[in-house]
Amino acid sequence: MRAALSGYQADGVWLAAVGKAASGMALGALDVLGNSVARGLVISRPDHLSEELNRYPQIEQIAGGHPLPDASSLAAGARMIEFARAAPQGCPVLVLVSGGASALVEALPPGLELRDLVRITDWGLANGLDISELNAIRRRISCLKDGRFAALLVHTRARALVLSDVPDDSPATVGSGLVAQSAPGGPAPALPGWLLELLPRALPAQATLPATVIGSLGDALAAAARAAEGKGLSVARLPGRAEGDVMRAAHQFAHALALADHDVLLCGGETTVTLPEHPGRGGRNQQFALAVASRIAGHPLYAVLAAGTDGTDGNTLDAGAIVDGETVSRARDEAVDVDQALAGCDAGTALEASGDLLNTGPTGTNVGDLVIGLRLAPAEAASVTPSADPGSGRVL
């Protein structure tokens, strides 16, 4: 944040921060700008709001709904509109956006109700739409997204700083484009008839603010690589992103880890999960971790972390999990069927039983999901799990 705001000189700054990293971004901006910030609005998940921000009387904090939007999302959206309209002519406005904003704030056109918004979001998540596909739909029904919040600030001197959790690192994609309108997109996913009926609406004009991406998954992966190399470990990064079906991505990662000739294997992205009718506890990182654990079962050489960089995963307050070759056996010792947990998207229950859940609390950032695979030297593995049988697992 300090580097991004280097040379930014203004008095009477209005600050709007929205997303799962909103509190951390706001605190960073306040650390740089100090008393130059005259007024601020911070919107995030209830558990991601910061008590530290309460010592700034000019900052208002509001909780929105996430991962599903709710009535608080609409209240937060209405407050954002009031904030933008109240900003004085020519006022310097700093907009801070991070992932999660799509659900946290919303304003709907006439004819659409909260139940429609929830149904759309629930349908997208349950059917495994990736973030770009889901955001493309959200933009079409929103009075804030696709640059419409930006259009409310055209009378000001507004600029945006963005933490990216999306594949293209585009400000028009993060938060469904609160600060930037989108270019014509590619093929859209097949949509059910009821959803197509909801899409045509007369919506406000769009605009795009000057925007700078100040952090991304690439930065997180680079930091992880530096940390590993600083400990004398060799590092390789899988090409591309972890995306698409979570089970396929997890099995591909386990296979690559088995074939790797480096100590650490890195990848990141955002996989998708197609939910059963009654899903259990967990998120895509926990599902990924448990799927990997099922492939490396009995192999003492491997350990894998899969976690959301924001510190949460799906409908839980856990960031993800750290699994190893004994995860499956530990879960079974607690009478948990790992295959059944995977089929029911109940990975969190299995990982709690095995003792492998990772709980960091809110991290103050949000750049997607991070996967780190570690290959132990045989001597190290023997000291950690001396009873493991290297030949009993299913890595390949």
pLDDT tens-digit series, residues 226-240:
999 999 999 999 999
β-pair partners for 38: none
**CA dist., res. 395 & res. 387, Å (int):** 18
Q: Are 175 and 235 in contact (CB under 8 A)?
A: no
In a domain, 393, yes or no: no
Together in a domain, 92 and 116 = yes
Q: How many domains does the chain have?
A: 2
Residue 126 within a domain: yes
- Residues 267 and 311 placed together within one structural domain of the fold: yes
Q: Are residues 172 and 313 in the same domain?
A: no
Domain span at 200: 13-215
Q: What is the DSSP code (8-state) at residue 393?
A: S
Same domain for 241 and 335, yes or no, is: yes
Query: 378, 301 in Cβ contact below 8 A?
Result: yes
In this structure, are 246 and 207 located in the same domain? no
Of 198, 215, 232, the residue that ends a domain is 215
pLDDT in tens, 299-332: 999 999 999 999 999 889 999 999 999 999 999 9
Residue 104 is assigned to a structural domain of this protein = yes
Claim to verify: residue 141 and residue 112 sit in the same structural domain = yes
Average pLDDT over residues 127-143: 86
Where are the extended beta strands (E) located within 286-368? 302-308, 320-324, 357-358
Do 279 and 181 fall within a single domain? no
User: Does residue 203 share a domain with residue 136?
Assistant: yes
Stretch 34-46: mean pLDDT: 97
227 phi and psi angles, rounded to 5 deg: -65, -45
Tell whether 211 and 328 lie within a shared domain: no
Amino acid at 167: P
Residue bearing the bigger pLDDT, 125 or 384: 125
186 shares a domain with 230: no
Last residue of a domain, one of 151, 180, 215: 215
pTM of the model: 0.90
Same domain, 224 and 211: no
Q: Is residue 161 part of a domain?
A: yes
pLDDT per position as a tens digit, 76-108:
999 999 999 999 999 999 999 999 999 999 999
For residues 165-194, give the mean pLDDT.
86
Tell whether 394 is covered by a domain: no
